[in-house]
Amino acid sequence: MGRKLDASLAILNGVIGDFLEKTGNGLATEMSLFAEVGGDVPLVLQRGPLAQRLPAATGRVVVLVHGLMTTEQIWTMADGTDYGARLSRDLGYTPLYLRYNSGRQIGENGAGLSDALAALTDAYPVAIDEIVLLGHSMGGLVVRSACHLARQDGRAWLSRVKRAIYIGTPHLGAPMERIGRVVTSALRVVDDPYTRLVSDIANLRSAGIKDLGHADLRPEDRARDRGWSISVTDPRHPVPLLPEIEHYLVAASVAEHPLLVALFGDSIVPLESATAGLDGAGLPPGHVRHLPRLSHLAIARSPEVYETVRAWCAGEAAPAAGAS
Amino acid sequence: MTKMDQWRGLRALIETAVDQGTSAVERLHRATAARPFDVLDAIPPIALPARGVRVVHDAILDTVYGSIRLVNRLVGGTLAVAIDVLDDDAGSAHAGTADPPSKKPPTL
């Protein structure tokens, strides 16, 4: 499939993907794992076919999960490589790229990812020693949801997950969606057919986008229409960061000045949300990294971010800012 | 999903968009037109003829928007049949092969 078509479908799925799925529309993206970025043929998660497609499979697997309205193409760096390919080259990981309908509820995609990882671990050609989950933006929330559901369901794959790395993930929600919610509600109050039409059009956004407002990882959370005031590392949180996994957070900001950082974050996700609270939700200091002068999309393909990811996966401390 | 499924999806999406868009414009049109008619209805000497004009106006609206929806469904139905025929032809051309090129294998 062409890159432009893939990108167009990803945007369409991000905006109305829940509608496409509900109506059985053929434009809805099915959740699939790929062995390479931009692949045409998804992996068949059965022993024979998988061994054929992954002849150099290693016991270290990294699964890259893209964010809203994108595909795995988001990971492609300027030199044509990506974080997965570089982790394969530098540390011997086998990279796998998830593609999914980002307009579905985050919890639904989390359940799909959990199923996919269960099928993958059953069919993988060699014993899996370690799984690293790497999520960009909404992809990080899908990872959290999948881990939460895997623990609930007693899935064996969860025991192989050593690290989860969240890149620009809105753990505390995305204010732009919350603003959109307020604006559409306000427009609906005005008794004017034109205003009502604008409100209806603005309200067309998908379930996935609406979930981003308060980072709702379960369908029942959005019904409450509010965020969680307790930390994501607190066990009382409905979908906490699981203590048996090492969690790493990368946050970016388009500027360096503290005021601009506080106002704009990485242009989509505020610094506070990407770091799960400005104190990193009590995670070890080395597990949270803030990189200035990077936008929300740029952090998915930045050499500097990759050096941090590589260091974490190698069990090293993240390089100092500006060191790469 | 195959390429043909995507074409079918695109057709269905366009048909739904035209249908929903037409309904939205129709609602807007009726709400806008209702304002002057309501004013005229409140003026006794011209209320009766105004009501007559309104009935004619609403009938024309029904016809115009109904026609748009009808044509949309006819075109959509024709395209659906054309896609099915193309799909059948493609299937026949690949008869005997285990996996037609347009068909993706099941994954999850």
pTM (two decimals)? 0.88
* Window 11-50 of B, Cβ < 8 Å to A: 12-13, 16, 24, 27-28, 31-32
User: How far is A216 from A238, CA to CA, in rounded Å?
Assistant: 10
- Determine the pLDDT at residue A176: 87
Q: Which pLDDT score, from 0 to 100, does residue B105 have? A: 46
What single string gives the DSSP state of each residue in A109-159?
Answer: HHHHHHHHHHHHHHH-SS---EEEEEEETHHHHHHHHHHHHHHHHT-GGGG
| CA distances, A128 to each of A21, A160, A247 (Å) | 33, 7, 20
User: pLDDT for A81-130, tens place per residue?
Assistant: 999 999 999 999 999 999 999 999 999 999 999 999 999 999 999 999 99
**For the purposes of burial, counting CB atoms within 10 Å of the CB of A19, is it exposed (0-12), middle (13-18) or buried (19 or more)?**
middle
In terms of CA atoms, which chain B residue is nearest residue A16?
A: B13
Check whether B102 has a pLDDT greater than 50: no
Whether the predicted pLDDT of A72 surpasses 50: yes
Question: For the sheet containing A32-34, what is the strand order?
Answer: A32-34, A94-99, A60-65, A130-136, A161-167, A246-253, A288-292
Query: What is the average pLDDT across A38-61?
Result: 96
Instruction: Give the pLDDT mean for A4-30.
Output: 95
Q: Which single residue is written with the structure tokens 């609906």? A: A188
pLDDT digits (tens, 9 = 90+) for A250-289: 999 998 888 888 888 999 999 999 998 877 778 998 999 9
Mean pLDDT of A61-79: 97
Contacts of A280 (CB under 8 A, 6+ apart): A249, A287, A288
Min Cα separation A287/chain B (Å): 33
The Cα–Cα gap between A102 and A28 comes to 10
Residue A4 confidence (pLDDT): 85
Residue A279's identity, in one-letter code, is D
Question: Considering only the top CATH level, what class is A2-174+230-313?
Answer: alpha beta
Share of chain A above pLDDT 70, in %: 96
Dihedral through CA A224, CA A228, CA A233, CA A236, nearest 10? -60
Least confident of A152-156, A317-321, B40-44: A317-321
- Name the pLDDT band for A201 (thresholds 50, 70, 90): confident
CA A65/CA A95 separation, integer angstroms: 11
Region of poorest pLDDT, from A54-68, A269-283, B10-24 = A269-283
Is the Cα dihedral A21, A24, A28, A32 positive or negative?
Answer: positive
For position A323, what pLDDT does the model report?
A: 45
Question: Do A25 and B105 count as a contact with CB atoms less than 8 A apart?
Answer: no
Segment 156-215 of chain A within 8 Å of chain B by CB: 193-194, 197, 200
B6 contacts A2 by C-beta, under 8 angstroms: no
pLDDT tier at A223, thresholds 50, 70, 90: low
Mean pLDDT value of segment A203-222: 86
Predicted local distance difference test score (pLDDT) of residue B95: 66
- Chain B residue numbers with beta carbons less than 8 Å from the beta carbon of A101 are none
Please report residues of A whose CB lies closer than 8 A to that of B1. 26-28, 30
Does the CB of B106 have a partner CB in chain A at under 8 Å? yes
Do the beta carbons of residue A29 and residue A13 sit within 8 Å? yes
Domains of chain A, residue spans: 2-174+230-313
- Quick: pLDDT tens for A232-243: 888 878 888 999
Mean pLDDT over A48-60 rounds to: 97
Q: Which two tokens stand for residue A9?
A: 């479908």
The b/e string for A193-215 (b: 16+ C-beta within 10 A; e otherwise) is beebbebeeeeebbbbbbbbbbb
Give ipTM to 2 decimals: 0.79
| Amino acid of residue B35 | R
**For residue B96, pLDDT beyond 60:** no
- Band (A222; pLDDT cuts 50, 70, 90): low
Type of residue numbered A88: S
